[in-house]
Structure 1
Amino acid sequence: MEKYCETIYRDPVFHQLMDSQEKYDLIILEAALNECSLPLVYKFDLPFIYIMGSMPLPWHLEAIGSPLAFDHYPQISSNYADEMNFWQRTYNTLSGIVAIYYWRWMVMPVIDRLAAEMLQIENLPTIEEIEKHYLNLLILNTNMGLNYQMATTPVVIQAGGINLGPAKPLPDDLETFVNGSGDAGCIIVSFGTYIKNSEIPDDVRRIFLSTFARLPQRILWKWEDDKKIGHRESIPSNVKLMPWLPQADLLGHPKMRLFITHGGVNSIQEAVYHNIPLIILPVLVDQPLNAQKAQDDGYAIRLDWDNLTEEILFNAIEQILTNSSYAEKMEKVSELMRDQMETPLDRVIYWIEYIIRHKGAPHLRTASRKLSLHQRFLFDVMLFVVLVGILMFSVLTRVLRYFSRKGRIQKRDFKKTN
C-alpha cells in the first residue's frame, strides 16, 4: 500500500485533478486497495461509489454500514459454506474482525502519513473519516444465484454479470477449428491473468498434455508463449495453443462442452451464463471460495494443483462429460442468474443516477456506520446485560442467604423458648 500510494501521489494526472477547478457530480473508485485516491473525494467534496470486482471485503461492508453477517457469510480467506459449525463460525468471525482492525489500525495510518507528507492538504481528515462520510454506494460483482446470500442495506448493489451478453461470432480460423470438433465438441483451458506459462511446473504441464492426448475433444488452451514447451514435448493434434482467447464468445458456442479454469469470478459467471460446466483449479484470493461454492452447487469439480495427476484430471473430465447431473445443475444455476427484474447494467445505471439526483442519498445509509465495531456487534449491550445479570444474581443470593440465616436463628430461638 505504501508503494502504491507513493506512485499515485507522484502521478502528474493525480495532481492535475487535485489542482483542477472542474465541477463534477460523482466519483467512482475501484474498491480494492484504492484508498490512496480518497483525498480527491475530500478535495471535490463529492459523494463517491466503490466498485468491487468480486465479493466484498469486511472493511468495505463495515465502512458503508452494511451487516457483516459472519454467522453465515464466509470470509474470502475461508473455504467454508454458508452453513458453518461452531468452530468455523468462530474462525470466520475472528478472522473478519481481525481483518477490519488490521486494515483500520495498520494500513490506513500508512495512507494518512503519506497523504500528509506528500500532498500537504490543510486540515485533511483521516482516510477512514473521508471514506465513512462520503461513501454512498457499494457495487459488487456478485449475483444472488451464484454467491452466498448476505444481508445488505439498500446501498449495496449486486451487479454480477454486468458484462455478459449473447456470444459474438468467432474469427474464421477459430470457427473452423471449433466446428471441426464434431459431436465430441471442444474444451477451453484458461487460467486467466494470474497464472503465467512459466509458473506452471513442467510436470503439471505434461499432465495436461498427456491427458488431452487421450481425449476425443478438441482443446483450446490459452498459452501465451509456446517457447515454454519443452523441445522433446509434442503438442497433441487436438490441442490448439493461443496467446489470447475470446473466452465469453467461445463459451457461448454450441460446440463447447467444458471449461477448465482457475475459478476467477468473471470466468465462473461467463461459464454459468452460457451453461458450460467447470473444472476449477483455484490459486489464491477468492478463487478457492468460488471453486468450493461451484462444487457444492453441483456444476463444477474442484481439483488441487498439489495433488494433480493424469488419472485425476482425466477422470474429472470424463465425469463432467458423461454425468448429466453437472449439466442439469448448471442449467438450473444459469436460470437463477438470468432471472432478474432488470439487467445488472440497468440496475447500476439507475443507482448511479439516483445517487447523483439525491446528492449522495444520505437517507439510504444506516447509522451503524458511525458506530465502532464492538457497538455494531452489540458487545457493549451484551456485556451490560451479563454484568446486570451477575449483579442481580449476587443480590438475590445475598437476600436468600439473609432470610435463610434469619430463619435458622428464629427457629433456634423458638426451640430454646420451648
Structure 2
Amino acid sequence: IMRPRFPWLLWAYACCWSAGFCGKVVVWPTDASHWINVKVLLEKLVLRGHEVTVLVPSSNLLIDYQDTSSPFTFEVLQVPFTQKTLHAIMEDFLYFWTNKISNLYPWEVIWRMKKDMEVFTTMSKQTCDALVMNPELTAKLEQAKFDVLIADPLSVGGELVAEILAIPFVYSFRFSYGNVVERLCGGLPSPPSYVPASTRGLTDQMSFVERLQNFLFYFYMDLFSLKFWRDEWDDYYSNILGRPTTLCETMGKAEIWLIRTYWDFEFPRPFLPNFEFVGGLHCQPAKPLPKEMEEFVQSSEEHGIVVFSLGSMVHNLTDEKSNVIARALSQLPQKVLWRYKGKKPETLGSNTRIYDWIPQNDLLGHPLTKAFITHGGTNGIYEAIYHGIPMVGIPMFADQHDNIAHMKAKGAAVGLDFSTLKTQDLVDALNTVINNSTYKENALKLSKIQHDQPVKPLDRAVFWIEFVMRHKGAKHLRPAAHHLTWYQYHCLDVLAFLLTCTAVVVFILVKCCLFCCRRCGRIAKK
C-alpha cells in the first residue's frame, strides 16, 4: 500500500537533507476548487522536504483520501453526513444560484443566503466536532508537533485547531462576502470610496450612487456577519477553548494571509505586510495534449479553438440552457472543446466535442486557442491570464461576478448574464473577443504582468509558510489595529474629545461675550 508514495518520500528526504530544514504541516482544507489550488501548494511543500498531513472529512467533494499514491498523509474525520447528503445539498445550492435567483426579490435572496449559511455552518460544526470531540485524535495531533497549520477562512475551524495545538497558522484565501473577514478580522484597510466590496461586481471607478451602494453593503455585511458569528460561532469557540473569545478574534491571529490574486487582477488598494498576493500559483507552462485531442485541435486550422468550462462544480445544465449554448457554439468557425457531464444537447454542432474532463491549462496554453468561455472561477481566470487568452464570462455565484467584473474592467473579457443568455448573445460575445484584437492585446498585457515578478507566486507562498515555521510565527508583521476597538481604530474617541474641547471653548467664549455685553449695558444705563 505504501509503495506508490516511496518516490515522494525519497525526494522529500533528499530535499530535507539539502535544505537543512524539514517541518511538519497540518492542513484544514476547503473543498472543491479551493482544494485544487491549495493542493499545488502542498505538493510543493512536500517537494521541499516537509511532511504534510491533511485533515479531511469522510464525506467531501474532491479530496480523495483513499489515493495511496498521494504525497500527503490523511487524517479522516468521521462526519455524520453522508456523501449522498453532501451532493444533494450542493446540487440544490447550485440549482438555486444558476436557475432560480433571477426570479426572486432581493429579500428572498438574502433569506436563502442565510438558510444556506446555516446549513453549511451545521456541517462545519459537525466536522469540527469530529476532531475536538475525539481526544485520541487530538492527542495524536498534539504529539506530532506540527510547525504550522494551513487553512482557508471559508471553512471555519482551522484557526480553532491551530489554537488547540498551540501552533501558528497561515490562511490561503480568495475573499469573503463584502471582504468582511479580511477587514474586521485581518485588519485590512478597505476605504469604501475606491475599494469595491467583493461580490458586488463594482470596480475602483465608482459613481456617487455606486459609492453609496458600496458603503451601505460594507455596513450591512458588518452587522450581518458580526451577528451571525455571535449567534453561531463565538460561544462554540469559547466553550472549546475554555475562555471567552470570538471567531473573528481567533481568525485575526493568522500570521500570514496568502491572497489568491495579484495586481494583474486586483485594483490598486492598501494592504498590510502580513497580506501576500500569490494569484496564479497553480499556473504552469502547457504540456502536450492527448493524441486524439491534439488531432481535433489541429483540425481547426487557421480558425483555432475555443475552450469552454463551467468549473469543477457545475456538471450539468437544463436542457433548454444547454441547447441555447450548443446552438451558439455550432455557429462558430472555431472548433470547441466543452467540459460537460450533462445530457448531450440536441443542437450540438459537428465543431463541438464534449468531454467529462479537459486539461484546461494545457488547452489554454495551446497556440491555436482563441478564447475561453468561463464561469469566472479564480483558478480558470488565472490560467487564462497566465497564457494571455481573452475570455467570455458567464458568472453564476460566489466570486464569479466579481472576477468577471475585474476582467471586463481590464479589457480582457466580455460578460454575459446566465439567466437571460440567448444564442446570439454568446455568438456575438465570442466574435467580439476573437475578432477584436484589443481583447487579445489586453490579455497579453495581463499575462506579461503575471510573468514579470521577482519571485514566482508559488515560491513566494512557500517562502512565507516556511518563514512562519522557522520563526514560530510572524508577529512583527501584525498591525496594532488588532488591539484597538472599532471607535479607537476610526479615532472616534479623539474626534469626540476634540469636539468636546471645541464645545467647551465656544461655551466659555459665548458666556464671556454675554457677560461683557451685560456689563457694557449696565454702564451705558448709568
What is the TM-score normalised by the length of structure 1? 0.88
- Give yes or no for contact 1:207–1:310 (8 Å, CA) kept in 2: yes
**1:30 positional shift:** 1.5
Which of 191, 194, 209 is 2:326 aligned to? 209
> Matches of 1:249 and 1:14 in 2, distance apart?
43
Q: Which of 337, 351, 354 matches 1:220?
A: 337
2-structure distance, mates of 1:290, 1:24: 35
- AA aligned to 2:171 is Y
SS of 1:10 mapped into structure 2: helix
Distance 1:131 1:406, change over 3 A: same
Structure 2 CA distance for partners of 1:160 and 1:402, relative to 1, 3 Å:
same
Matches within 5 A, 1:89-128: 89-114=211-236, 122-123=242-243, 125-128=245-248
Aligned to 2:436: 323
Aligned to 1:71: 193
Q: What is the rounded CA distance, in whole Å, between the counterparts of 1:96 and 1:26 in structure 2?
A: 32
- Shift of the 245–409 alpha-carbon distance from structure 1 to 2, 3 Å rule, reads farther
**1:16 Cα deviation from its structure 2 partner:** 4.6
Indicate yes or no: 2:351 matched with 1:238.
yes
3-state secondary structure, aligned to 1:259: strand
- The match for 1:392 is 505
Pair 1:131 & 2:246 matched = no
Match of 2:294? 175
Asked if structure 2 preserves the Cα contact closer than 8 Å seen for 1:73 and 1:150, the reply is yes
Counterpart in the other structure of 2:487: 374
Distance 2:500 2:204 in 1: 33
Q: How does 1:128-277 map to 2 (within 5 A)?
A: 128-132=248-252, 134-197=253-316, 200-225=317-342, 228-229=343-344, 233-277=346-390
Out of 205-214 and 9-18, give the one that drifted further: 9-18
Match of 1:5 in 2: 125
Distance apart, 1:124 and its partner CA? 7.1
SS at match of 2:398: coil
Comparing 251-260 with 74-83, greater Cα deviation is found at 74-83
One-letter identity of the residue aligned with 2:447: S
Kept in 1, the 8 Å contact 2:175–2:198? The answer is no
2:172 is matched with 51
Q: For each residue in 1:127-185, what CA deviation from the matched residue of structure 2 results, as whole angstroms up to 9, or x when unmatched?
A: 444333x4211111010121122311110010001011110111111111111110000
Identity across matched positions, percent: 28
Q: Structure 1 residues 383 and 281 mapped into 2: Cα distance closer, same or farther (>3 Å)?
A: farther
Contact 1:178 1:255 in 2 (8 A): yes
What whole-Å deviation, never above 9, does each CA across 1:68-92 have from its counterpart, x for those lacking one? 3333221113122113334433432
Deviation at 1:67, TM superposition (A): 1.9
For residues 26-37 of structure 1, the aligned pairs below 5 Å read 26-34=148-156, 36-37=157-158
- Taking the aligned partners of 1:13 and 1:248, their CA distance within structure 2 comes to 41
The amino acid across from 2:160 in the alignment is P
SS at match of 1:135: coil
Structure with the larger RCO, 1 or 2 (CA within 8 Å, 6+ apart): 1
Distance across 1 between alignment mates of 2:132 and 2:472:
29
Residue of 160, 172, 175 corresponding to 1:39: 160
User: Could you say what secondary structure the match of 1:19 adopts?
Assistant: helix
SS class of match (1:38): helix
Aligned-pair Cα RMSD in Å: 2.5
Range with bigger deviation, 178-187 or 71-80 = 71-80
Letter paired with 1:186: I
Kept in 2: contact 1:2–1:110 (CA 8 A): no
Which stretch shifts more, 160-169 or 17-26? 17-26
**Cα offset for 1:208?**
1.5
Match in the other structure for 2:471: 358
Deviations 1:360-394 (A, max 9, x none): 12111111111122322223333333343344344
**Cα distance in 1 for residues equivalent to 2:133 and 2:279:** 31
Name structure 2 gaps, 5 residues minimum. Answer: 1-120
Structure ID, larger Rg: 1
SS at the partner of 1:317? helix
SS of residue in 2 equivalent to 1:301: strand
Task: Give the distance between the partners of 2:136 and 2:369, measured in 1 at CA.
Answer: 48
> In the alignment, what sits opposite 2:207?
85
8 Å contact from structure 2 (residues 147, 469) kept in 1: yes
Shift of 1:307: 2.9
Cα distance in 1 between the residues matched to 2:187 and 2:445: 33
The answer (yes or no) to whether the contact 2:233–2:247 under 8 Å persists in 1 is: yes
CA distance in structure 2 between the partners assigned to 1:91 and 1:369 by the alignment: 27
Q: Take 2:420 and 2:499, find their aligned partners in 1: how far apart are those partners?
A: 49
Cα shift at 1:14: 6.5
Cα distance in 2 between the residues matched to 1:339 and 1:24: 35
Instruction: From the superposition, tell whether residues 60 and 15 of structure 1 become closer, same or farther in structure 2 (CA, over 3 Å).
Output: farther
CA distance in 2, matches of 1:397, 1:99: 44
- DSSP 3-state at the match of 2:293: helix
In structure 1, list runs of 5 or more residues that go unmatched. Answer: none
